[in-house]
A and B are shown apart, each in its own frame.
Chain A
């Protein structure tokens, strides 16, 4: 049986771990709230842009390099994971999906890694990593997304890849996040579907010009959304994991305290028995 000193030492160590997990939980909760606000704030812009592309498409068949489906020879996967660990199953779930997607991919492929964990994972696999980005920060802003999008478009523009996929984590709630794989390029626009009598818009300068600026904007907002979803998921996952760790620490401390009390009582009992025994021997 562990001595009282050992048990005390363990209680102390678990307590200090608990302090850390508790602090991490609160920090993640604050960050989660912030990413969620940003995510919600970004929604009207993205919706409106999609709506405008939809309206354009209703109006007339549109054609753009980023919309054209080409015969696929090589594809590129953008794998988006976190920079840090300690966030429950967040990274492993995502990377599991990435591994599955890569294994099932029937074409030649390259990958782009976003986040240190994705880079580590992919560099141990036998894959060609064409780009890597780390240190995205806790609150990605639109300019970052725009810069990232421009680089990805440049990569696509080389014509090496006919399809670009994003593997990221979709944010449902603080408790639920699920990794998904979405096609990023060529852009898939769903027609608005409602063939209502859309008013004839006047397009200035003309449809093509508008489209050629609208589509990059749409892609930028998509990248922005993916980044935000991934970050919100990361914070959510970390918060849940740290909350569980804190609860677990409480349980461990309870058990250890119980063990400590038992040990103390046992020690006292032995002492009394010894004294009584000693006194009895004297008589």
Chain B
């Protein structure tokens, strides 16, 4: 029998996901990592991006996160993120609008625009769109 891991996604707004999964893929600051059962204890910083997880006996699912932390121990994966959204809950139109807006800002930077912030906003929007499977 395949071993299972518990995936928990916690944000300041509440626990948005608690599920047994067989596999999780996460965007850490050092790149994408995949986690299977019996992973060594790990604490890592997460980047803006898409979390892909495979619930036991179901199709792969995605969620967008905006950075945060990851803790793996005892076959339990905890994702702590300032914001996290499951693909089903993402408002695609809003993400697209945010993406356009951020791109506009980056294209025509004026002195009162924080470039880092605009870039982060762009990546956040992009990861939401990716989680929706609309762009690669």
- Interface, chain A (partner B; CB < 8 A): 38, 41-42, 44-46, 48-49, 52, 55-56, 141-142, 145-146, 199-205, 209-210, 213-214, 217, 220-221, 224
Q: Could you list 6 A-B pairs, sorted by A, with CB under 8 Å?
A: A41-B14, A45-B10, A45-B12, A49-B80, A209-B45, A217-B82
Which residues of B are found within 8 Å of A41, using beta-carbon distances?
A: 12-15
How many Å from the CB of A148 to the closest CB on chain B? Answer: 13
- Whether the pair A146, B44 counts as a contact (CB closer than 8 A) is no
- Asked if A204 meets B14 with Cβ closer than 8 Å, knowing A48-B80, A49-B80, A217-B82, the reply is no
Choose from B10, B40, B44 the contact partner of A48 (Cβ within 8 Å): B10
Rounded to whole Å, the gap between the CB of A114 and the closest CB of chain B is 19
Residues of chain B contacted by A214 (CB below 8 angstroms): 69
How far is B80's CA from A40's CA once the two chains are assembled, in angstroms? Answer: 16
Answer whether A210 and B11 are a contact pair too, CB < 8 Å, given A49-B80, A205-B29: no
When distances are taken between beta carbons in the complex, the residues of chain A under 8 Å from B15 are 41, 44
Please indicate the chain B residues that have their CB under 8 angstroms from the CB of A55 in the complex. 43
* Alpha-carbon separation in the docked complex, A203 to B80 (Å): 15
- A49 contact set on B, CB distance < 8 A: 69, 80
- The answer to whether A44 and B10 touch across the interface, beta carbons within 8 angstroms, is yes
Whether B75 sits at the interface, judged by CB under 8 Å, is no
Which B residues are CB-close (under 8 A) to A48?
A: 10, 71, 78, 80
Residue B135 lies at the interface, judged by CB distance under 8 Å to chain A:
no
Q: Which 4 A-B pairs have the closest CB atoms?
A: A41-B14, A204-B44, A142-B12, A199-B41
Whether the pair A42, B29 counts as a contact (CB closer than 8 A) is: no
The reply on B103 being an interface residue by CB < 8 A is no
- Closest-CB distance, A78 to chain B (whole angstroms): 19
Given contacts A48-B78, A52-B71, A202-B42, 16 further A-B contacts (CB under 8 A): A41-B13, A41-B15, A44-B10, A45-B80, A46-B12, A48-B80, A201-B42, A201-B71, A203-B42, A203-B43, A204-B43, A204-B44, A205-B44, A205-B45, A210-B45, A214-B69
Q: Which residues of B contact A (CB under 8 A)?
A: 10-15, 28-30, 40-45, 67-69, 71, 73, 78, 80, 82-83
Q: Point out the residues of chain A lying under 8 angstroms from B68, CB to CB.
A: 217
A112 to B44, CA, bound (A): 35
Say yes or no: A200-B41 contact (C-beta < 8 A), given A146-B82, A205-B29, A210-B69.
Answer: yes
Taking the closest CB of chain A, its distance from the CB of B10, in whole angstroms, is 5
Closest to B43 in A: A201
Q: Return the chain B residue nearest A37 by Cβ.
A: B14
A42 to B80 alpha-carbon distance, docked (Å): 12
Cβ B12 vs Cβ A224 within 8 A: yes
Min Cβ gap A210→B in Å is 6
Chain B nearest Cβ from A212, distance in angstroms: 9
Q: Which residues of A contact B71 (CB under 8 A)?
A: 48, 52, 201
CB within 8 Å for A210 and B13 given contacts A48-B80, A146-B82: no
B13 touches A38 (CB 8 A): yes
Q: Tell me, in angstroms, the Cα distance from A210 to B68 when the chains sit together.
A: 10
A44-B10, A49-B80 in contact; A217/B44 too (CB < 8 A)? no
- A142's nearest neighbour on chain B, judged by CB, is B12
Q: Which residues of A contact B14 (CB under 8 A)?
A: 41-42, 44
B82 touches A142 (CB 8 A): yes
B90 to chain A, nearest CB (A): 17
For B69, the chain A residues whose CB sits under 8 A away are 49, 52, 210, 213-214, 217
A41 to B9, CA, bound (A): 12
Given contacts A49-B80, A52-B71, contact A204 B13 (CB under 8 A): no
